[in-house]
Amino acid sequence: MELEQLLRMRRHILRCWAVLVALLGLSVAEDFPWTKNNPGSFYYGTFPAGFLWGVGSSAYQTEGAWDKDGKGPSIWDVFTHRKGKVVRNETGDSACDGYYKVKDDIQLLKELKVNHYLLSISWPRIMPTGIKAEQLNEKGIQFYNDTINSLLENNITPIVSLYHWDLPQVLQEKYGGWQNISMINYFNDYANLCFEKFGDRAVAEKGYETGEHAPGLKLGSCGAYKAAHHIIKTHAKVWHSYNNTWRREQRGMVGISLTSGWGEPVDPHSQTDRDAAERYIQFHLGWFANPIYRGDYPEVMKNYVGKKSAQQGLGTSRLPTFSVQEKTYIKGTSDFLGIGHFTTRYVLQKNFPFLQVSSYHTDHDLAELVDPNWPAPGPKWLYSVPWGFRRLLNFIKTQYGNPLIYVTENGVSETLQCPQLCDEWRIQYLKGYINEILKALNDGVNVKGYTAWSLLDKFEWNKGFSERFGLYHIDFKNKNKPRYPKASVDYYKKIISANGFPNQREVENWHRKAMDTCSATHQHLAADSLITHMEMVTEIVLPTIFTLCILIILVPKQNLAGRSNCSFCSLTITNIKHSSFNSNITHIH
């Protein structure tokens, strides 16, 4: 059994998206005609005309310029500046330099021939303190205006996330962030500003329970449930604001995007395993989706959290409740459902012993397992299990009345230290997961678009730059942050151009061409890396040596214990010569 912590980084994320432009029985394979005997079977065919293809990113992970042009600090700026919070103490201070390379990245989107680009707006970049009445940052507003205009000029539809984790730090310090109900009004003000400025053309568990993500608070499950409760009510208010004020004029859509894995019962014929699998999906996807589509938290979630709270001797459940009025206000506040999905787990019943301090994780009473035969191309939390995606989509169809769905995040990362442009594993992942969407469409699921995650290698939250999700590799050691296409770029372009998988022969040919292309790109990257290495020698090592020599010349000779200035400098240079920067510099003296 392997309980993977990082998987939960991708779960329970509720974001408000402004688009400018079966129950458990379904887990039994016999319900699906193409996978009746083999869930891994491949289905050749094409997507409906008008299906949308895209790629995504987020502000904090790519923009950099964390304190430039009037931007205020976010909770992630502060969190990453604390030592020990991120792998190798890396930060998103410069990230991919996306703030300065918008034109370059739009050119990459044109090369991919995508229909849309999913990006997020940094709240503190346009409202430095997060409070509209205090300050607006016109340079930040202009940046997103220019970005959206450039996308539209290139026939790329912007899909904009209003919140992708980068809460203004001032709101966290003054009010406790999402723990405070006042966030509903502050976010609504921010959202309405976005609708006003951009709409005419176009976070809970890790941050507030375990403290592994910004703002780094360890408030227990009460903190997670409370933050989620406020986020859901905030989303509803924003939807009503758009519906009442902006929809008639702008004719856009506002929905939510939720990221969830799929939980498959270890034994689909075991009622206890099926019940555990239902709890898995309801505690993850249902936590946010159920209030939006059905008016309240899932019954199983209310029952289990209530039971555990009573065992702790609490007078009320740790899971907050909605009033009758709030249930009515929240239900139906989504024009579409954005779905992020990465992997699957087998699930079975597990009874946790009584704990005085229960957590969100122990409230489920379940254990997660993985099949060792599942490919795990990168981090161990992200196993490639394409058939789980189809089951998740069918679950949504049955559970929530077959809503309009846009896949907003789907991709796989690698953790290798050296550049891997021939990303065979990503090609297989994309091929398998996109094919399961095609099967789900034939099941009647209302999926209208797909977004590959992500355009670029980027800052991956508490993993820093050690995980790479990008279709394009970035050499972060090079001050210019050049982008290099991986093999998956060529392969994804072929899927987009063909609008699916026309036939076996053609699809196999895509693979061969993609791998041939990446080999040539690898040679180009190797040459550029050598130049970057030599620039480091020129710009860092040599100036350091000259400075050292100058400083030593200024030191009185008697303080050098009988050494001459020049011989001391020579000794220093000789030591450096035996380091990794082995260049011909011993003649300097």
Residues annotated as catalytic (active site), given as ranges: 409
Distances (CA, A) of 1 to 118, 283, 343, 366: 35, 20, 16, 12
Alpha carbon separation from 583 to 12, 130, 192, 535 (Å, rounded): 52, 51, 58, 12
Beta strands 500-501; 45-46: pairing state = antiparallel
DSSP state of 357: S
Number of neighbouring beta carbons within 10 Å of residue 311: 12
Residue 80 in contact with residue 92, Cβ under 8 Å? yes
Tell me the C-alpha distance between 292 and 499, whole Å: 32
Question: How far, in Å, are 387, 432, 495, 509 from residue 500 at the CA level?
Answer: 17, 12, 5, 14
**β-strands 15-19, 253-259: how paired?**
antiparallel
Two tokens at 507?
A: 């699809």
Cα 581 from Cα 579, distance rounded (Å): 5
Look at the block and give the residue holding tokens 């710009």.
539
Written as one letter, the residue type at 531 is: I
Structure tokens at 195: 């609708």
Q: Give the C-alpha separation, 468 to 419, whole Å.
A: 10
What is d(CA 16, CA 213) in angstroms, rounded to the nearest whole number? 20
Cβ contact 285:253 at 8 Å: no
Edge-to-edge order in the sheet of strand 344-349 = 262-265, 344-349, 366-369
Nearest CA to 263 out of 198, 341, 194 is that of 341
**CA dist., res. 85 & res. 462, Å (int):** 7
Give 239's contacts (C-beta < 8 A, 6+ positions apart). 16, 254, 333, 334, 335
Crossing angle of helices 183-198 and 138-153, in 10° steps, is 50
Cα gap 348→43, rounded to integer Å: 30
Q: What are phi and psi of 45, to 5 degrees?
A: 170, 175
Beta bridge partners of 15: 257
Q: Looking at residue 85, what DSSP letter applies? A: S
Instruction: Please state at what angle helix 287-294 crosses helix 220-241, rounded to 10 degrees.
Output: 40
Asked if 439 and 32 touch (Cβ cutoff 8 Å), the reply is yes
Contact by Cβ (8 Å): 165, 204: no
How far is 428 from 469, CA to CA, in rounded Å? 14
424 vs 422: CA distance, rounded Å: 6
**Residues making up the chain, counted from first to last:** 589
The continuous run of DSSP H or E covering 436 comes out as helix 424-442
